[in-house]
């Protein structure tokens, strides 16, 4: 096994949980920087991606789909609406609810964010060949699915 950092105790570097935590911090920083380069944040990406894939939704639905707290959803939608990336309109069936819709500008921003995130993936997984990247993604998905069930 290749040494992660010479001064890090081996009992840490031999533990997948420690490695995942360290990598998650690095991945989050890379993603934040990448999104920042296109004037956005991770919460924006979650919401735009959900609207693109599933269509218009209430703010509550977006919170559930994107695994976001209600106040974070509201703040992100306010920012996205202010930039013209989403439209928020009252639900005709329930005036207490807002329906959020992706705009054409939002679709363009999502494509910019996709490109930024693709670059982040390449930076993060740079030393791995394509087959290993696919294997890693499959294994991480399997672990996450297992732990989300409980």
CATH code for the structural domain at 39-118: 1.10.10.10
pLDDT at 149: 87
**What number of other Cβ atoms are within 10 A of residue 76's Cβ?**
25
What is the pTM assigned to this prediction? 0.87
Domain locations along the chain: 39-118
| pLDDT of 1 above 60 | no
Note the pLDDT tens digit of each residue in 55-84.
999 999 999 999 999 999 999 999 999 999
pLDDT > 90: percent of the chain: 87
The pairing of strands 86-91 and 57-58 is unpaired
């Amino acid at each position: 096994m290749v040494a992660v950092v010479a001064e890090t105790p081996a009992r840490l570097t031999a533990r997948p949980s420690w490695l995942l935590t360290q990598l998650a911090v690095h991945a989050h920083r890379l993603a934040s920087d990448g999104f920042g380069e296109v004037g956005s944040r991770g919460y924006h990406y979650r919401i735009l991606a959900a609207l693109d894939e599933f269509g218009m939704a209430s703010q509550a639905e977006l919170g559930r789909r994107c695994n976001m707290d209600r106040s974070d959803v509201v703040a992100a939608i306010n920012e996205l609406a202010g930039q013209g990336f989403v439209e928020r309109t009252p639900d005709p069936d329930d005036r207490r609810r807002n329906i959020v819709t992706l705009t054409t500008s939002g679709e363009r921003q999502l494509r910019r964010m996709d490109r930024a995130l693709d670059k982040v993936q390449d930076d993060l997984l740079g030393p791995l060949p394509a087959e290993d990247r696919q294997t890693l993604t499959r294994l991480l998905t399997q672990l996450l699915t297992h732990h989300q069930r409980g």
